[in-house]
Each structure stands twice: as C-alpha cells, then as structure tokens.
C-alpha cells in the first residue's frame, strides 16, 4: 500500500516529523531498524531552545528529567574556565528521549514498525533487508549519521583527516556527581575533545570527537582513553572509575549540510546538517528539522520538499559556521589553551551559545 508519508528512522528527527504529521491529519508509517530503543552514540544535551521545541511537540521536559544544567565548563592545557549558561538546559539519555518521543507519536496514531532495516533509497520508495519495497508520496529520511545507499552524503564532506565519534558511559558515583555537578563539560586535547554531562540516572555520557590520525597513533580506542587520562588529568578523573563498552561511528561530516533534495524527499537531522558536537545543538537540529519539514508537508504536500530543504539549509548555515569556527579554535593547541580564559569573559559564553542555536522555524 502506498502511503502519503514514510519516515525512515525512529530517533528524535523521525519522531518529531511523525508527531507533527499526525497532528496535521496525516497517517505516516515510521520504520526503525532497532527492535528495542537503546542509547544512541550522540545526543544527550538539550538546550533551552530545544526544550521549547519539545514542549511544542507535547513533551514535558520534567518527564525527561527534573534536573537542569546551568553551567558550562572548559578544560584545556591544564586550565579551567566556567560560566553560567544563558538559560537552564537539561541532559537526558537517548534511550529516555527516544522512548518518550516515539511513544507520544504512537498515541497520536502513528504506525511504527520496528526491526525494519532500509538498505536502499530510490525515488519515493525504499528497499528493506527482507526484500520488501515501501513506497510513499513523501519520504522523510531520518537515519541519523548512518547513510543509506541511494541517499548517502558525499564522501568529500569527511575531509582528509575525518572525525570519528566515540562514546562511553560512566557509571553513577558520588565522585562523578561531585566533579561534574550541574555543568556540561568540554575537555580539549590534541586533535579532539570530549563532552561530559550527567544524565537522568546519575551516569555520565562522555562523547568524543577525535580525528582519525589521533586514534591511529594510539592504536585502539581503549589505548586512546588511557592516553587521555594522562594527557588531560581532569578528564582522567572522570574516567578513573571505569567505563562501559566503547561505541564508535566513523567519518562524521561535521559542518556538512544539504541544500538540494530529490522531489518528495525531506532530509532530516544529521541527513540535513551535521553541527560540531561541541555546540550541543545536534538534538536541536534533529527536532527542529523533523517538526518544520512535517509542517511543510502539511502545508504544501510532498512537492514542498525542495523549498523546505533550501530554507532549512539557510536557517542552519550561521550556527554551523559559528560552531565550526569554535571547533577550529579548539583543534589548535595554541588557541585551545586560550578558550578557558575566554569562557570567563562576561557575556562571551552567552554570545557563542546564541550564535550556535538553531533559530525558530515556525
């Protein structure tokens, strides 16, 4: 059966699109490759702007977690800088966030099929691993950082020394709670950085963006973590209690965005734009893109995809550019060493935070 809308991916971008389409009178089918919701590699930090988007989607932020993140802390070259965030944010595991969003979509009548792996995208149809073909007037591609044949992002977006994403979970402990507290931390090191933030259960998500050359020199992710415990002592304190298995994803094309799309295909989340993770706006892009793309579908039908994609690309151009500039500074030892001092300048953090948020698209 051909549907009006097919959504590939049940993460925040896909769920936001599903919720908005259902509210607009559509009955989308959402397919998700995992059978159970697990913790994704990326995400966890929800900015004040993204909290507003969640509320518009019908999600109570306190249902995710009652705790709030109020400060940002930067470590580099043995130095530390700290400042208050412009407005309180929150941190939540992707398991919790994705579960609540998808459950809300289902209460609105969205059909969800799990355990469906999409292998190929062609026109307004997808081919699945079990040989089925699913067709729709409009396709919402929300597969995150995982590319699908026929809809892959260009290889040149990765650069000559591509960035790899690594994530470990740090178990709850009094020491971890004391060290991190109500802050989002950014630990800068040679050819990479690590963000650390406490989540709703007291565990910490430690997400790293590391150039391939640095990982190659270390020899393995485990060896890299051991090296970082000596190179970045404050990060070493957080890692001292041990970590869970290391999750990894290769060749993250930070700074990439698409301005063009095939007729009837809406590219959402990381398939639309990939902001450097140090900005803490990945979930903002996912939710904003899903919601606004679905609004375009409700207003203009599948034919509105091309105009919406261009509009969204323009909207995220400045946040991506500004986050990229901060990333470039953090990637150089001399300038990275100055960032903790810059964080202490009154108003500096607020200015950077404002310049890397996704604007309202209503």
User: Alpha-carbon distance 167 to 8, whole Å?
Assistant: 24
CA contacts within 13 A on the Cβ side of 169: 21
What pLDDT does 214 receive? 95
Report the C-alpha dihedral over residues 352, 230, 196, 165, rounded to 10 degrees.
Answer: 80
Q: Contact, 141 vs 118, CB < 8 A?
A: no
What pLDDT does 155 receive? 60
Averaged over successive runs of 10 residues, the pLDDT of the chain (362 residues) comes to 88 97 96 85 85 96 96 95 95 94 97 93 86 92 78 64 91 96 96 95 92 94 95 95 86 88 92 92 96 97 95 96 94 91 91 91 78
In sequence order, the β-bridge partners of residue 5 are: 138
What residue ranges define each of the domains in the chain, with the CATH number in brackets?
A: 3-45+96-157+255-355 (3.50.50.60)
What pLDDT does 342 receive? 92
Buried b (16+ CB within 10 A) or exposed e, 174-202: eebeebbebbbbbbbbbbbbbbbbbbbee
Question: What are the structure tokens assigned to 192, written together?
Answer: 């990479």
What pLDDT does 157 receive? 57
3-state DSSP of the chain: CCEEEEEECCCHHHHHHHHHHHHCCCCCEEEECCCCCCCCCCCCEECHHHHHHHHHCCCCHHHHCCCCEEEEEEEECCEEEEEEEEEEEEECCHHHHHHHHHHHHHHCCCEEEECCCEEEEECCEEEECCCCEEEEEEEEECCCCCCCECCCCCHHHHCCCCEEEEEEEECCCHHHHHHHCCEEEEEEECCEEEEEEECCCCCEEEEEEEEHHHHHHHCCHHHHHHHHHHHCHHHHHHHCCCCCCCEEEEEECCCCECCCCCCCEEECHHHCECCCHHHCCHHHHHHHHHHHHHHHHHHHCHHHHHHHHHHHHHHHHHHHHHHHHHHHHHCCHHHHCCHHHHHHCCCHHHHHHHHCCCCCCC
User: Alpha-carbon distance 238 to 180, whole Å?
Assistant: 8
What pLDDT does 2 receive? 73
The pTM (predicted TM-score) of the whole model is 0.94
């Amino acid at each position: 059966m051909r549907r009006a809308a097919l959504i590939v991916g049940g993460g925040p971008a896909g769920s936001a699109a599903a919720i908005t389409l259902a509210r607009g009178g559509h009955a989308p089918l959402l397919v998700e490759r995992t059978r159970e919701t697990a913790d994704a590699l990326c995400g966890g930090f929800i900015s004040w702007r993204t909290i507003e988007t969640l509320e518009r989607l019908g999600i109570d932020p306190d249902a995710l977690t009652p705790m709030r993140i109020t400060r940002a802390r930067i470590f580099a070259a043995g130095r530390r800088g700290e400042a208050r965030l412009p407005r309180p944010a929150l941190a939540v595991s992707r398991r919790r966030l994705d579960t609540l969003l998808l459950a809300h979509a289902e209460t609105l009548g969205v059909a969800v099929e799990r355990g469906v792996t999409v292998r190929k995208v062609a026109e307004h149809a997808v081919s699945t691993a079990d040989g089925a073909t699913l067709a729709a007037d409009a396709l919402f591609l929300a597969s995150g950082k995982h590319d699908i044949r026929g809809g892959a992002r260009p290889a040149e977006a990765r650069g000559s020394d591509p960035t790899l994403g690594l994530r470990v979970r740090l178990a709850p402990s009094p020491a971890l709670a004391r060290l991190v507290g109500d802050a989002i931390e950014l630990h800068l090191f040679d050819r990479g950085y690590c963000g650390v933030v406490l989540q709703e259960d007291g565990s910490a998500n430690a997400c790293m963006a590391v150039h391939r050359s640095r990982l190659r020199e270390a020899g393995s992710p485990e060896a890299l973590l051991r090296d970082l415990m000596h190179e970045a002592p404050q990060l070493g304190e957080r890692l001292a209690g041990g970590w869970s298995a290391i999750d990894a994803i290769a060749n993250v094309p930070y700074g990439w965005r698409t301005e063009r799309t095939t007729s009837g295909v809406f590219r959402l989340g990381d398939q639309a734009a990939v902001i450097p993770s140090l900005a803490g706006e990945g979930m903002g892009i996912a939710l904003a893109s899903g919601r606004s793309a679905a609004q375009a579908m409700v207003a203009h039908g599948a034919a509105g995809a091309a105009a919406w994609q261009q509009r969204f690309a323009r909207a995220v151009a400045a946040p991506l550019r500004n986050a990229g500039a901060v990333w470039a500074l953090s990637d150089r030892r001399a300038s990275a060493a100055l960032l903790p001092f810059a964080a202490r300048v009154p108003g500096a953090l607020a200015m950077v935070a404002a310049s890397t948020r996704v604007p309202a698209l209503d």
